[in-house]
Amino acid sequence: MIAEETRHRFDALVARYPEKRSAMIPILHAVQAEVGYLSPAAVEWIAQYLDLMPADVMSVASFYDMLHLEPVGKHLIYACQNLTCTLLGAEPLIRHIETRLGIRAGETTPDGKITLKRMECLAACGDGPAMQVDGEYHGRMTLEKLDRILETLQHD
């Protein structure tokens, strides 16, 4: 399931840390990127690789917002719902995404293309309302900008 080349990368990664387990989060990120989400088989693989129980890996993975134990869309929208962004109009923007995609925050479109997640402060308040789309920041969001972004994602 995990490419040989990725495994070699992990071997080098693990060797850098005084304790093997420290490579857990980097490995979770990398496996998630390769498999799409942390499937039971992926968790099993990581546990075996790190000499841990699958339950240990699950317990860590479930703690962090960016690690997905369920399949997510091809594209991921993180919309900030914290204070500054809300002061600057984040709520109507989030509702606009929900209406346009026909999903609620936390869900994925039926075609598996887009997942919308509400996030806490993204450290971009100076450019609020802020969002991240597939890891890239988009600031000073407006309905027009948002429509352009959604258009691109939907047609990808």
102-121 residues near other proteins, rule: CB under 8 A: 119-121
Q: How far is the CB of 14 from ligand FES (least distance, A)?
A: 34
CB 85 within 8 A of CB 129: yes
Residue 24 touches which member of ligand FES, other proteins, none, C-beta under 5-8 Å by kind: other proteins
DSSP string computed for 133-155: ETTEEE-S--HHHHHHHHHHHHT
CA–CA distance, 129 with 89 (Å, rounded to integer)? 7
Please give the Cα distance from 59 to 142 (Å, whole number): 38
Contact status: 65 vs other proteins (CB under 8 A): yes
Cβ at position 137, least distance to ligand FES in Å: 9
Binding of ligand FES by 132 (CB under 6 A): no
Considering the complex, what minimum distance in angstroms separates the CB of residue 45 from ligand FES?
Answer: 35
Contact 128, 80 (CB under 8 A): yes
Indicate whether 48 belongs to the interface with other proteins (CB under 8 A).
no
Amino acid at 89: G
Query: Please, which residue, 69 or 88, has the CB nearer to ligand FES?
Result: 88
- Binding-site partner at residue 136 among ligand FES, other proteins, none, CB < 5 to 8 Å by type: other proteins
Cis bond before residue 129 (omega within 30° of 0): yes
d(CA 126, CA 109): 30
Within 8 A by CB and 6+ apart from 53, the residues are: 47
Which of 42, 43, 45, 129 touches other proteins by CB under 8 A? 129
77 sits near ligand FES (criterion: CB under 6 A): no
Residues of the shown chain interacting with other proteins in the complex, contacts defined by CB under 8 A: 16-19, 21-26, 28-29, 50, 59-60, 63-67, 78, 81-84, 86-92, 119-129, 132, 135-137, 140-142
